Chains A and B, each alone.
Chain A
């Protein structure tokens, strides 16, 4: 999958999402068959309060082009 990204030069997004809000929102988007770009990889947290600043730096370090935090 990483190879697909590097060939297409599509931006990679890491999204930290809350289990109860944005994750369910993403689920709804899927169930409702709303089309959205496949560039995002979701990381589900039970609450976005679990997020540590180090996670964000780590995501950039691991190659994310953008990070979305969504509660």
Chain B
């Protein structure tokens, strides 16, 4: 992990010193100090995150407050939001309608200090159904920004490791994140297509214990692109898209990361930026323009891109072994970005594939239970188990997702059950069917 972040691994030292080895302790410290003097300056840049927030941007997010008075007046108290919310079903004290009503009654302060604002999955179940078109996830996101200012913080999953990684990426001199690609295929430093790999190299280390190898997804994407005669740009200077920071109310980190990414992409001269992670895609598509205006490139989700390219560069795919597969719609790709069809069309390129739908699919698809690496609770596990049961009920033996986080969350939930679904990533699945 330190190597990926560009921190010399010698800066972390493990030693065994017993209670009787005072002299050894003194020696260990002396030699470590000498080594650190040799290695030189601090491994990270000075943090400029807090200074870096342009006040005009902060202001803009206030202007973009999604819940205007007019809109709240339109709230018909129909409770469709609460009724449809997968979290409310498990945690009755969490009710989106109550939030809206509390906000209208100007009990803002009380709302900002409440724990419930961290329970929302921002999955968009409520907002796609709301007759007044209230964007509840966005409304809640802004509450989180305010909550953070009064020190109401989320409980971070995995001891906050991903949050540290995001913040450290704002201060890295040079990451070492493209090493995987060198053995896999061809990529370049500048060109028309930028492949935004996202957090996969980091997930590969953090979630090693689940034995999922999330980076294989990126390897498959690179192989597929190369097969279609595309040599994408993959950059060492790319950093986290800021999705998690954004949705956990840490706007300063989000803006710093976003600004770095925009500079890196601009420097590569790319016209198209391709994403294999729906979170990166949704963040670039929906939130970057909100803060930085129109982007100087087009963002395309990888399944849509591959599906379009396959017409010109047919992949020779071997027929599916006689298994049945079902598809989990990631909320960032489906409800938040409106793309339900492209992953299905791509999967149907495999001859003889038997793609079956779960009881709730497309805009009704159940979320994978956790978002932005926080608030992973019994509620998350209940949602994940429900989803796994739904998948098993279709008779499918393989559950395919287009989002690395859905795959991690559902696999983690499955490890505590006796279910034996194969939970696979769409790119690895397609790649494994190439003749």
Contacts and interface: CB of A to CB of B under 8 A. Distances in A.
B7 interface: yes
A70 B16 contact: yes
A13 B32 contact: yes
A41 to B, nearest CB: 11
Interface in A17-57: 20-22, 24-32, 34-37, 39-40, 52-57
B168 A61 contact: yes
Interface in A51-71: 52-58, 60-61, 63, 65-71
B37 A68 contact: no
B26 A36 contact: yes
A25 to B, nearest CB: 4
Given A29-B26, A35-B26, A63-B42, A20 B33 contact: no
Nearest to B170: A61
Contacts of A61: 44, 164, 167-168, 171
Contacts of B167: 61
Nearest to A13: B32
Nearest to B14: A69
A15 B32 CA distance: 11
Contacts, number: 129
Given A53-B161, A61-B44, A68 B15 contact: yes
B161 A29 contact: no
B59 interface: no
A65 B43 contact: yes
Interface residues of B, number: 43
A28 B26 CA distance: 10
B382 interface: no
A40 to B, nearest CB: 5
Contacts of B161: 52-54, 57
Interface string B210-223: 00000000000000
Interface string B25-37: 1111110110111
B106 interface: no
B36 A70 contact: no
A22 B2 CA distance: 24
A31 B54 CA distance: 53
B19 interface: yes
Contact of B164 (A28, A29, A58, A63): A58
Interface in B1-48: 1-2, 7, 11-30, 32-33, 35-37, 39, 41-44
A20 B15 contact: no
A25 B17 contact: yes
A60 B26 contact: no
Contacts of B165: 57
Interface of B: 1-2, 7, 11-30, 32-33, 35-37, 39, 41-44, 158-161, 164-165, 167-168, 171, 206
28 contacts: A13-B29, A21-B19, A24-B19, A25-B19, A25-B22, A27-B19, A28-B19, A32-B22, A34-B23, A37-B30, A39-B36, A52-B161, A53-B159, A53-B206, A54-B164, A57-B164, A57-B165, A60-B11, A60-B44, A61-B164, A65-B11, A65-B41, A67-B12, A69-B14, A70-B14, A70-B25, A70-B28, A71-B17
